[in-house]
Structure 1
Amino acid sequence: MIKIDSQRLINISDYYYQEIHSTVIDKYSRAALGNNPFTGNDLRLWFVNSTGQLDMRFLKTLLTGTIDEIIKTNIEIEYYLKTCKFLHYSSEQVDAKLTGMKKVTNRIAIRQAYVAKFSNPWLDKYTKAPGNLSFFSSNKNYNKLVREVKADMLDLNVLLAQMIDYEYISKELRHELLHRIGIEVCPYCNRQYITSYIDHSEKKSTADLDHYYPNSRFKLFSLSLHNFVPACQICNSRFKLAKGIEILDPYRDGFDRDTYFEVGLNPASNSDSLIGGNTFFNIELHQMHTGNRADQLEGNIRLFQLENVYQSHKEYVRELLYKQYVYKDAYKKDLTALFDNMQLTEQEIHLFLYGHALQDDKLGDRPLSKLAYDIITRT
């Protein structure tokens, strides 16, 4: 929901590399990587330079670069990412669109469009195989295609796990990373503090270090710094898990103004509902985008159950509405004079009134900042 400044990761990239790269080098030296099941080529070719030695520049990019930077190092890594995405999102995206759809022609088109979205030579090897040429014609044929691709991806990820696996990060390093990244509010829900603290000289955190691309399915990126998202345990362990729902990458995008909270009236509502007199209303979450970004926005809302869990904050919204009503009307003159005497900035006034500065670039600083921002600025 809330965009994270990727500079936070850049600032700690050298530290992280120094802490983890020797472990990866040691695992690589012991690994029996074998051949890539998708191409038959020696998998070590991904990791070596022209002299046949482990490519340290590539290793640093893999550990500390963005996902885009990583896939630019080798076209086969781009194929890997696309094929992993095809498998990860397959059931959620295809099944969701097929639900309730009766026309066979539309169902065929959906399967074809989904596969085309992730088309690459690895995937083409299966879609163009004689036994899969009609993969789009039925769920049975489509699921057969998915199973075949999945079997080889599982084998490939087992090979990669010999040198790249989240298990190689110690508990101490995980907590250190959470301290250094410095995120204090869960970016997925904007509801929970994720607190870092010291316990008997040991750094600890209430946060989980989530993988945007799940460790179990995108093994190559399981130690990539830009794949780590500090998150509350509810979002990570209760909602997200490894569900194949496409969501926003918080280092790239947030909800911003494409998605907004709004007070929605229901049959029990009355005039007092709009001025903080009661909680006879619903908290609605709307998104105004189209295309792939719309799918990701809807994915966030659905995966983290945002519209449902935010209903528990009606009393908080009622207080915001009441404060806004009072400031605009009965006490506006007196409050304005008070603020002038105190020489407060607009942001300080908002903090005084609502507990939030109402700055769209500060929504990650406090829980419920996005909710407060939308309710106050859009009402």
Structure 2
Amino acid sequence: MINLSIAKDKKIKLAKMIVDKYEEQEVKQNRQKKMISRYIEVDSWCKKYIQIEGRGLSLMEVICADYIKLCKIKEKFEEYKYEWNKLKWDKKITADYFMIDTLYKRNFPRKEFFSELNVNVCPYCNRNFINSYQNVSTYQLDHFFPKSEYPLLAVSFENLIPVCAACNYHKREQMINYSPYDKRYKIDSLLKFSYVIKDTNYLLDKSGISISIQAKDSGIQKNIDVFELEKLYQIHTDVVQECIKKGMMYSEEYINGLVKTYSNIFESKEEIYQLVFGNYFKGENYCDRPLAKMTKDIVKELFEVIYAEDIDKIFTE
């Protein structure tokens, strides 16, 4: 649920890598004619049936489509699924097989794609680090629109979400309402983390605190439920406990004092926030460190309750 983006020119570069790798493999196996036939037939099918804004899209355009266009392609694919199923070369090599087993499983540039996204944390839960180093990766690729239902979108970049294993397990083939690539929303407008004090000894015993997730939009509740986020986040009550203690210690006056005293160390108040609360302040940086969204919401609530102050003003002035 943390926003992702990939530049159009990067998508074109990666799409060419998919096609080039496919062509190279087919040429080595002396199957160039079959390769050309299959790719051209799928491309021709797209141009005939995936009519968006008055013209047919090429397969490359389907692969590089942004999320809004992807939703329209999905609708067209549903409309012409019967025609898609007729596209096959023998009993095994169908259009589904071509998109999923050939282009996605064998030829998709996972490492390069992940690198271009510049994300360190699972965008679905914002709890777990994801990374890739040499031939080892700690992320899995989720198809936002399941590839079993929408094989045409198997290698569409904005249909692929690098996520942690837990989120991929919970989602599986389920459909959810919000994609990290959907630029029409920001996560701060969809949900808010809060906390509940259950016991007066909460400053010493983290079990006296529980974490709640408040949906600001009815649609986001399905995302929360599918990933069981409210249940999973209860393991992080120690972080909330630390935020409460730090919120009591670091008043606006104290923060301003730190800025003056250590002006040669910190370039901005945002750096003070990062040092004190151990996370990033701005929404665009939520993807850089786990629990960034939760930390921001908890600290914001604390300052409103304790000092009647808005941290957006405190740490950006």
TM-score range normalised by the length of the shorter chain: 0.7 to 0.9
Deviation at 1:213, TM superposition (A): 0.7
Q: Which amino acid aligns with 2:125?
A: C
| Structure 2 residue 75 is the aligned partner of structure 1 residue 78 | yes
Identity across aligned pairs (percent)?
Answer: 23
Of 181, 189, 192, the match for 1:257: 189
Q: Name 1:227's counterpart in structure 2.
A: 159
| Structure 2 residue 29 is the aligned partner of structure 1 residue 21 | no
Tell whether the 8 Å contact from 2:120 to 2:129 is kept in structure 1 after alignment.
Answer: yes
Q: CA–CA distance in 2 between the matches of 1:360 and 1:301?
A: 19
- List gaps (5 residues or longer) in structure 2: 24-31, 50-54, 89-93, 303-317
Q: Which amino acid aligns with 1:181?
A: L
Cα distance change, pair 68–338 in 1 and its aligned pair in 2 (3 A)? closer
Deviation at 1:66, TM superposition (A): 2.0
| Structure 2 residue 95 is the aligned partner of structure 1 residue 160 | yes
Secondary structure of the residue that 2:194 maps to in structure 1? strand
Q: Name 1:138's counterpart in structure 2.
A: none
Cα distance change, pair 215–57 in 1 and its aligned pair in 2 (3 A)? closer
Of 242, 262, 275, the match for 1:342: 262
Cα distance change, pair 262–28 in 1 and its aligned pair in 2 (3 A)? farther
Secondary structure of the residue that 1:318 maps to in structure 2? helix
Of 284, 289, 292, the match for 1:361: 284
- List gaps (5 residues or longer) in structure 1: 35-42, 50-54, 84-121, 123-148
Q: CA–CA distance in 2 between the matches of 1:359 and 1:32?
A: 45
Aligned length: 275
Q: CA–CA distance in 1 between the matches of 2:67 and 2:86?
A: 19
Q: Structure 1, residues 162-200: CA drift from partner, whole Å, max 9, x if none?
A: 4322542337722222123221110000011111212xx
Q: CA–CA distance in 2 between the matches of 1:362 and 1:214?
A: 28
Q: Name 2:2's counterpart in structure 1.
A: 2
Of 217, 237, 242, the match for 2:173: 242
Q: Name 1:351's counterpart in structure 2.
A: 274
Q: Name 2:308's counterpart in structure 1.
A: none
Q: CA–CA distance in 1 between the matches of 2:10 and 2:39?
A: 28
Secondary structure of the residue that 1:362 maps to in structure 2? helix
Secondary structure of the residue that 1:165 maps to in structure 2? helix
Tell whether the 8 Å contact from 2:18 to 2:108 is kept in structure 1 after alignment.
Answer: no
Of 166, 176, 179, the match for 2:112: 176
Secondary structure of the residue that 2:59 maps to in structure 1? helix
Secondary structure of the residue that 1:264 maps to in structure 2? strand
| Structure 2 residue 248 is the aligned partner of structure 1 residue 325 | yes
Q: Name 1:130's counterpart in structure 2.
A: none
Deviation at 1:153, TM superposition (A): 9.2
RMSD: 3.3
- Normalised by the length of structure 1, the TM-score is 0.64
Q: CA–CA distance in 2 between the matches of 1:234 and 1:187?
A: 12
Deviation at 1:265, TM superposition (A): 3.1
Report the structure number with the largest CA radius of gyration. Answer: 1
Q: Name 1:186's counterpart in structure 2.
A: 122
Secondary structure of the residue that 1:361 maps to in structure 2? helix
Deviation at 1:156, TM superposition (A): 6.1
